[in-house]
Amino acid sequence: MAWTPVLPESARSAPAPAACTAMPLTHLAVVQASGADATAFLHSQLSNDVQGLPPQRSLLAGYCNAKGRLFTISRLWRHGDAWLLCLPADSAETLLKRLRMFVLRSKVTLTLRQDLTLFGVSGDAAATALGRAGLPAPDQDGSVATHDDTSVLCLPGTVPRYLLCLTDAVAPATWTALTEVARPADTGYWRLLEIDAGQPSVHAATAETFVPQHVNLERVDGVSFRKGCYPGQEIVARMHYLGKPSRRMYRMQTTAPPPPPGTAVQDERQREVGTVVDAQTTGTDATRLLAALQVAAIDSPLLLPDGARLERLDLPYPLEAPDSAEA
């Protein structure tokens, strides 16, 4: 089981901005794919171009059912001769179970890496904190640096943001070094940063609910329209080339407590017009969230089931690609 630090009481309360924040990412898990056929196997199952991923880079990829509905979204990167896939812990067993159904004669071994710990580090002083721990700080979104058995991933966001994947053996010393510079926070703050970055996620409660475009997966480079087939590819490609999504993911704010993923979003006539993807408190009597909503309803008053109103906020990327862009 992953090593988890004991957080001070202040870290378990509402998150607050700081020059540097360190968080144990206990809501995430890591699945490993290894073996001679691991790259080809993942390429055939996931929505993105695994075979074309350059060294020292990471990417997002969805795993869909035959109807194009997402079971999971993972961030994956190469670590030595294996692939590591990071995703919500409540979806990890689903991913393993589904992928193992299709291994057949492929030389692939899929395992849940329970010996790995995940930390998040964010803020303008994040690179300083990483240096204090003897770790590199890659400087481009999507880039990956390694030190011994530790991977450091630079992720998109409104502030500098890094995902650390390391063994349990070195986790305590690394956490101690990081928190000489960084303020400890709980995992909710990392999820808030993901929301502000417009990064989609699929949890157990929302499995097989969204097609990739409903959660903007192609807008954050999580779908390749040039690669070969994968489960659900025909549905995803048809929506891309022949139509427009009826739903998109939007960033919203409310004064209500954070609703869990899968909570319905309604219009004033109590008709369901969307679904909460994820939500977290801001620490200032507000909640920010991502929700997949009917495009036709986005300019109407929107509410949670308890009657709390939603206010639309900007995303850090456009929802539609320029006409000249080619995926």
For 39-56, how does the pLDDT look when each residue is reduced to its tens digit (9 = 90+)? Answer: 999 999 999 999 999 989
pLDDT class for 324, splitting at 50, 70, 90? very low
Whether 58 and 162 map to the same domain: the answer is yes
Domain count, the chain: 2
* Rounded-to-integer distance, Cα 16 and Cα 23, Å: 12
Give the mean model confidence (pLDDT) for residues 85-113. 95
Task: Please state the rounded mean pLDDT for residues 71-75.
Answer: 98
Mean pLDDT of 181-195: 95
Q: Are residues 252 and 274 in the same domain?
A: yes
User: What is residue 17's predicted lDDT score, i.e. its pLDDT?
Assistant: 61
pLDDT reported for residue 242:
85
Range of the domain at 215: 204-313
Alpha helices in the chain (DSSP H): 38-45, 89-100, 126-132, 171-178, 187-196, 233-242
Q: And the tokens for 295? A: 């495009």
Calculate mean pLDDT across residues 4-17: 69
Last residue of a domain, one of 166, 196, 226: 196
Number of other CB atoms surrounding residue 149 within 10 Å? 13
Residues 165 and 217 in one domain: no
Q: What is the CATH number for 280? A: 2.40.30.160
Shared-domain flag, residues 169 and 59: yes
**What's the rounded Cα separation, in Å, for the pair 15 and 286?**
11
The predicted-structure confidence for 136-157, as pLDDT tens digits, reads as follows: 999 999 999 999 999 999 999 9
Residue 211 has pLDDT above 80, yes or no: yes
326 falls within a domain: no
